[in-house]
């Protein structure tokens, strides 16, 4: 199968590219090397597969429609659309940029698909679309009163809705997958586990926002990629598809517990500075994955503690503290 993979040099994108290539798919990867974090990190991610004979890379910004069309001349069998402007708190400071990338950029991908006759797309959405979880129960895709509380979250929800319009108008088969706090080797340096490990390794205290009771459904990257691959298979085998699924671990971990596990895996004494809660942060993410199990046979395998140990081992092997 020939697959267009947007955001191929990122954390999840690079793992996805490797797995697709190992399965003998042909992958056309695009990435714009966003300045959100170091280009050197993304180049290191790409180095694992950029010379693979079935991989072609183009440096393209999905906001630039004319360049997108110029580079992507031929249709593909399926699109895996992971490219996005990420980060909850930065989106509060610059919502226009998030609208520009996550909505306008996604619309460019959809329109390119329409014009090229491409009918299948796996779309990376986010658990952030749910907003605050006041019930404390697992979040189901059937919860229709989603209430995003950050620009990042509302752009992801808006993109889901835009995807439905293209499904309805142009018979596109689209799977919206809401990722729940993915972590593991190559994780972005701004995300909590990577940031905390780096601070601890450098002998610095970490900052805990709130009382430590907020919780995230941390999902190891290999499990998320398993879900992506299962989603690709589902799209390939079925027509008239428009589905939204959660890809999580179904085991929320509190911030306090997460910090304790990281210190234990690094064999360090905890040093924690408590700060007030930050704008845009939700209190709890907790995935109901029954739909993903039913449709995709999705079953996460990696326990949080084991995933943290794998991340710490990867971090310690890096030539630079990235």
Query: Which residues are tagged catalytic?
Result: 152
DSSP sequence for 173-188: EEEEEEE--EESTT--
Q: What count of residues does the chain have?
A: 322
Determine how β-strand 78-81 pairs with β-strand 219-220: unpaired
DSSP class of 54: T
Number of continuous H segments (helices) and E segments (strands) in the chain:
12, 13
Q: How much is the CA Rg of the chain, to the nearest whole Å? A: 19
Taking Cα atoms as reference points, which of 184, 282, 165, 163 lies closest to residue 226?
A: 184
Q: State which H helix or E strand residue 309 sits in.
A: helix 304-317
* 3-state SS class at 58: strand
Strand partners, 173: 120
């Amino acid at each position: 199968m020939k697959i267009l993979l947007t955001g191929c040099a990122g954390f999840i994108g690079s793992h996805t590219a490797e797995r697709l290539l190992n399965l003998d798919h042909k992958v056309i990867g695009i990435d714009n090397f966003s300045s959100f974090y170091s280009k050197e990190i993304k180049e290191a991610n790409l180095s694992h597969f950029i010379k693979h004979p079935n991989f072609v890379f183009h440096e393209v910004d999905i906001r630039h429609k004319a360049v997108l069309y110029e580079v992507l001349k031929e249709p593909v069998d399926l699109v895996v659309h992971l490219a996005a402007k990420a980060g909850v708190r930065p989106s509060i400071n610059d919502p226009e940029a998030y609208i520009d990338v996550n909505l306008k950029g996604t619309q460019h991908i959809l329109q390119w698909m329409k014009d090229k006759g491409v009918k299948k797309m796996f779309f990376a959405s986010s658990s952030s679309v749910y907003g605050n979880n006041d019930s404390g129960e697992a979040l189901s895709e059937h919860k229709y009163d989603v209430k995003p509380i950050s620009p990042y979250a509302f752009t992801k929800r808006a993109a889901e809705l835009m995807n439905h319009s293209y499904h309805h108008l142009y018979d596109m088969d689209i799977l919206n997958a809401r990722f729940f706090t993915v972590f593991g080797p190559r994780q972005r340096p701004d995300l909590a586990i990577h940031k905390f490990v780096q601070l601890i390794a450098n002998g610095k205290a970490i900052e805990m926002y709130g009382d430590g009771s907020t919780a995230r459904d941390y999902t190891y990257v290999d499990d998320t990629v398993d879900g992506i691959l299962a989603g690709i298979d589902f799209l390939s085998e079925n027509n008239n598809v428009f589905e939204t699924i959660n890809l999580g671990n179904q085991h929320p971990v509190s911030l306090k517990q997460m910090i304790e596990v990281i210190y234990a895996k690094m064999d360090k004494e905890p040093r924690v500075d408590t700060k007030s809660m930050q704008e845009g942060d939700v209190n709890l993410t907790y995935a109901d994955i029954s739909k993903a199990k039913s449709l995709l046979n999705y079953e996460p395998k990696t326990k949080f503690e084991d995933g943290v140990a794998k991340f710490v081992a990867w971090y310690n092997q890096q030539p630079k503290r990235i």
